[in-house]
C-alpha cells in the first residue's frame, strides 16, 4: 500500500534550461551536426533541422509532416538565398540583422513561410517530387525532393 510519502511529487528544475537551448541552436546551425533537411536556393544550400524549421514555421511544419522523408531537399525557387539564410538565422537565433532596403522583402518571405514571430497571425522513403504552389501567399513556389 502506497503511503503519502511514496506519492509526494518533487519539481526538479534546470534554471538555465532556456538559455542553454538558446545557445545550443546557433551551434547546431554552425557545425551542421544532426542536420536532416536541406533548403536549396539560387544554386546554394542551407542545411537545417526539421524540428527547428517546423517549430518556427507553420509552412515547414505542414510540408514536413505531409511528406515524411529521411533527409528532404526543399527547393525555394522564388526566394533569394539571402532571404532564406536570414530567415533560418532568425529561426535558430531569434533575431537577424537586415538593412532597411531588405526588410520588406524579408517580411514578405516570412509571411509566405508563415514564420512565427515575423508574421502576426502565427505567433502564439522513396524518390518523389512534389510541386507546391502557394498562390494565396503571393505565388511563391517551392519543390520538395525526397
- pLDDT, one tens digit per residue, over 56-90 is 999 999 999 999 899 999 999 989 999 999 999 99
Q: How many CB atoms lie within 10 A of CB 136?
A: 8
Encode burial over 2-29: b for 16+ CB neighbours within 10 A, e otherwise: eeeeeeeeeeeeeeeeeeeeeeebeebb
- Domain span at 76: 32-145
Kindly report, residue by residue over 87-135, the tens digit of the pLDDT.
999 999 999 999 999 999 999 999 999 999 988 653 443 323 323 333 3
Is residue 108 assigned to a domain?
yes
Q: Is 110 within the bounds of a domain?
A: yes
Distance, in Å, from the CA atom of 116 to the CA atom of 98, rounded to the nearest integer, reads: 18
5 belongs to a structural domain: no
pLDDT in tens, 7-44: 889 999 999 999 998 899 999 999 999 999 999 999 99
**Does 7 fall in a domain?**
no
Split into its structural domains, the chain has a count of 1
CATH number at residue 71: 3.30.710.10
In a domain, 27, yes or no: no
Q: Does residue 48 lie within any of the structural domains? A: yes
Residue 79 falls inside a structural domain: yes
The reply to whether 23 falls in a domain is: no
pTM value is 0.77
Amino acid at each position: 500500500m502506497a503511503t503519502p510519502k511514496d506519492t509526494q511529487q518533487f519539481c526538479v528544475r534546470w534554471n538555465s534550461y532556456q538559455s542553454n537551448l538558446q545557445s545550443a541552436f546557433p551551434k547546431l546551425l554552425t557545425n551542421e551536426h544532426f542536420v536532416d533537411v536541406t533548403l536549396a536556393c539560387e544554386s546554394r544550400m542551407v542545411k537545417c533541422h526539421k524540428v527547428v524549421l517546423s517549430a518556427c514555421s507553420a509552412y515547414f511544419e505542414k510540408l514536413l509532416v505531409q511528406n515524411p522523408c529521411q533527409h528532404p531537399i526543399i527547393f525555394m525557387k522564388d526566394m533569394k538565398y539571402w532571404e532564406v539564410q536570414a530567415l533560418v538565422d532568425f529561426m535558430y537565433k531569434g533575431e537577424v540583422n537586415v538593412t532597411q532596403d531588405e526588410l520588406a522583402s524579408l517580411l514578405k518571405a516570412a509571411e509566405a513561410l508563415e514564420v512565427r514571430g515575423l508574421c502576426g497571425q502565427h505567433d502564439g522513403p522513396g524518390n518523389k517530387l512534389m510541386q507546391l504552389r502557394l498562390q494565396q501567399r503571393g505565388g511563391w513556389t517551392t519543390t520538395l525532393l525526397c
